[in-house]
Amino acid sequence: MSIIYHTQQYKLADKAMENFIDADEIHEILHSHQQPTMEQVNEVIARSLTKNRLSLAETAILVNANEPEMVEAIKTAAKQLKEQVYGKRIVLFAPLYIGNLCINDCAYCGFRSSNKKQERITLGKQDIINQVTALEDAGHKRLILVYGEHPRYDARFIADTVKMVYGVKSGNGEIRRVNINAAPLDVEGFKIVKEAGIGTYQIFQETYHRPTYEKVHLKGTKKHFDWRLASLDRAQEAGIDDVGIGALFGLYDWRFEVLGLLRHVNHFEAVYNVGPHTISFPRIQSASGFEVDKQYAVSDADFTKLVAVLRLAVPYTGLILTAREPGSIRDEILQYGVSQIDGGTNIEMKGYTSHKEQQNLDHEQFEICDNRTLNEVMEELVEDGYIPSFCTACYRLKRTGEHFMEFSVPGFIKRFCQPNALLTLAEYLEDYAPPATKEKGYKLIEDSLRDYDDERFKSKLNERLERIKAGERDLYF
Ligand code: SAM
Ligand code: SF4
């Protein structure tokens, strides 16, 4: 019997706004694909390498592949796929916490309403200007704004703060793309936020396992599994087709969550004909007021494997890794196909201007493990041969469905994404990099130019690089 379950079946069943998670089905698929053979693992890997999204059953085979040579084969294939599909670019962003008031009581989060130790802060206009100025002065061009859930943070508030961020200009600095991670809105609310010109709207389901969901969400609107599960359907209905999904790893069995994420992807594809733009896979970190038992804690070995499995399962979906993870884990999983990371992250309220050495858990949501500055992250990426990118071209040229463009137009990455990455890197090197990073960065640009045998295109790209050196900014293809 073929191991492939055709995802076509969801075309018949899935409807907008309706629950699509069937826990029994996921458990059954995981259960019936235990202890796969090397042959089965290789068969699934081969399908992924031809850039097919995997079915739940195929993904279950990879998830259950535990022999060291199987794990090795999965990781090697993920590296290969990453290089084929994404090339060497890594997009950089920073989170900016706008407000930590919260009516919910999520057992894992420092902002939970029952945590009376948490100092509650909402950034005012001047605070936003100060934080964004500091981020721009470090070289950032892309931010994700993060909010607790509170009546004060309604759609208008979110839209206003987005517009404030776009309005801050410091020297050559500007924020060219503002993404959002905030509570689910209704369709009207999503429309208001869309009008403010947001990029991606991210909402993590946290866990796709309803009983666990109900156990860890003790109070407030977030208690309602179905309202959250349908939230990005409402975003789609409001015209936001650029959405990010995620699961908080450590609440329930990671294998189940991987299949839950995949089921969410095929729900979007079935109903809206477009998958989510990104998947996030935060691994739970300690926090002030933290009350989650360690039963489902994900080990480093399982975590690195699950990222490789996700890469193979959804070749065309961006994968986001954050500073929750220490440098060593970040370095390893960057190779398996992560397409975006944060750099120079500070999740303390007003943290980008406070310059404190120590984290204070009573001022932030959870602990972070990568405290490097943006420049340190940039320099390491460059040394490892990655091209750090701040590119926002597609979104600003209204090439909508950015990921769709990237992957559906042959040669798009080489012709647009990679050159734009090089142009934004040159801007960074000119405006923000210390001399050592600048030297290494320009060496990487020179080496990357050798990849182009189309001399006409190469000279166009060179000409733009020269214009950037001469002081022009925001050039892209
Ligand atoms: N309040 C909104 C919500 O809950 O969706 C948006 C912001 S919330 C601050 C962003 C995400 O942080 C959550 O969706 C959750 O996955 C993650 N998070 C919360 N507590 C965490 C912890 N202790 N460790 C790692 N990630 C955590
Ligand atoms: Fe509030 Fe979000 Fe934290 Fe839950 S995860 S307590 S909703 S900020």
Query: At how many degrees (to 10) do helices 68-86 and 300-313 cross?
Result: 50
pLDDT, position 221: 96
- pLDDT < 70 stretches in the chain: 1-12, 355-361, 363, 400-405, 408
pLDDT, position 4: 44
Half-sphere exposure of 287 (CA within 13 A, CB side): 25
Q: Which of 247, 251, 249, 347 is nearest to 291 (CA)?
A: 251
pLDDT, position 395: 79
Write out residues with Cβ below 6 Å of ligand 1: 108-109, 146-149, 181-183, 203-204, 206, 248, 282, 284-285, 287, 324, 365-366
Radius of gyration of the chain (CA): 22
Instruction: For the chain, give percent helix, strand, coil, nearest 5.
Output: 50, 10, 40
Render pLDDT for 128-143 as a digit per residue (tens, 0 to 9): 999 999 999 999 999 9
Task: Identify the residue whose C-alpha is closest to ligand 1 atom 10.
Answer: 181
Q: Cβ–Cβ contacts within 10 Å for residue 72, how many?
A: 10
Task: Identify the residue whose C-alpha is closest to ligand 1 atom 5.
Answer: 183
If you measure from the C-alpha of residue 365 to the centroid of ligand 1, how many angstroms do you get, rounded to a whole number?
7
Write out residues with Cβ below 6 Å of ligand 2: 102, 104, 106, 109, 111-112, 148-149, 222
Task: Identify the residue whose C-alpha is closest to ligand 2 atom 8.
Answer: 148
Task: Identify the residue whose C-alpha is closest to ligand 1 atom 6.
Answer: 182
DSSP-derived secondary structure for 278-318: EEE-PBP---TT----GGGPPPHHHHHHHHHHHHHH-TTSE
Query: At which residue do the structure tokens 């739940």 appear?
Result: 56
Q: Which ligand is nearest to the CA of 231?
A: 1
Distances (CA, A) of 150 to 125, 158, 184, 289: 18, 11, 11, 19
pLDDT, position 400: 63
Residue 127, C-beta contacts closer than 8 angstroms, at least 6 positions apart = 350
* CA–CA distance, 179 with 144 (Å, rounded to integer): 4
If you measure from the C-alpha of residue 217 to the centroid of ligand 2, how many angstroms do you get, rounded to a whole number?
9
* CA–CA distance, 280 with 20 (Å, rounded to integer): 19
* Substitution candidate for ligand 1 out of 365, 368, 369, 370 with most atoms within 8 A of CB: 365
| pTM across the whole model | 0.95
Half-sphere exposure of 36 (CA within 13 A, CB side): 28
DSSP 8-state assignment for residue 153: S
Q: Cβ–Cβ contacts within 10 Å for residue 269, how many?
A: 17
Residue 182, C-beta contacts closer than 8 angstroms, at least 6 positions apart = 145, 146, 147, 149, 153, 158, 201, 203
Q: Which ligand is nearest to the CA of 181?
A: 1
Task: Identify the residue whose C-alpha is closest to ligand 2 atom 2.
Answer: 148
